[in-house]
C-alpha cells in the first residue's frame, strides 16, 4: 500500500497537511508544524510502531511510552540533519523485564525505516529510561 498526503499552502507559507488518518496545520505560526517537526514526528511514529510490534511478539506489556527527540541540522547547504537524539521513557515496564525492553528498542532502531533512512545523513543515538 502506498502512502499519500496532500499539502495545500496559501501565498504566505500557511498550509494544511491531510493524510489518510487526519490533518495538521503547517507553517510558521504558533500551533502549526514546521518541516522538521513532521520529520521528527514521523520518526517517533515509525519507531513506536516498530517497538510495539517487537514487544507484542515478545508478549511484553507496559502502560505508556514517551519520545522526546532532538534533531540538529547542519549549517551547510543542504541543511540535512547532523545529529538526532531519541530519548524514550517507558512507564509501567516490569523491572525484571527492562533488559528485554532495551533489546526490543535496539531491534526497533534496526527495523524502523525512518530511523534507518535518517541514519544515512545523521548520527543517530537513543536512550531508554524506565519510570
Q: Which of 28, 30, 35 is nearest to 10 (CA)?
A: 28
Predicted TM-score (pTM) of this structure: 0.91
pLDDT tens, 71-113? 999 999 999 999 999 999 999 999 999 999 999 999 999 999 9
> All domains of the chain, ordered by start, with CATH?
1-33 (no CATH), 35-130 (3.30.300.20)
48 pLDDT band, cuts 50/70/90, is very high
1 pLDDT band, cuts 50/70/90, is confident
The predicted structure's pLDDT at residue 96: 96
DSSP, collapsed to helix, strand or coil, labels residue 32 as: coil
Torsions phi, psi of 26, nearest 5?
-125, 135
The mean predicted confidence, pLDDT, of the chain is 95
Amino acid at each position: 500500500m502506498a502512502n499519500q498526503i496532500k499539502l495545500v499552502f496559501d501565498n504566505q507559507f500557511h498550509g494544511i497537511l491531510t493524510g489518510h488518518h487526519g490533518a495538521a496545520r503547517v507553517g510558521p505560526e504558533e500551533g502549526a508544524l514546521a518541516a522538521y517537526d513532521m520529520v521528527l514526528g514521523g520518526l517517533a511514529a515509525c519507531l513506536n510502531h516498530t517497538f510495539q510490534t517487537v514487544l507484542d511478539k515478545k508478549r511484553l506489556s507496559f502502560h505508556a511510552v514517551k519520545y522526546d527527540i532532538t534533531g540538529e541540522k547542519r549549517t551547510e547547504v543542504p541543511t540535512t540533519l547532523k545529529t538526532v537524539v531519541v530519548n524514550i521513557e517507558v512507564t509501567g515496564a516490569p523491572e525484571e523485564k527492562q533488559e528485554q525492553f532495551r533489546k526490543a528498542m535496539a531491534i526497533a532502531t534496526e527495523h524502523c525505516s525512518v530511523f534507518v533512512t535518517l541514519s544515512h545523513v545523521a548520527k543517530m543515538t537513543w536512550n531508554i529510561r524506565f519510570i
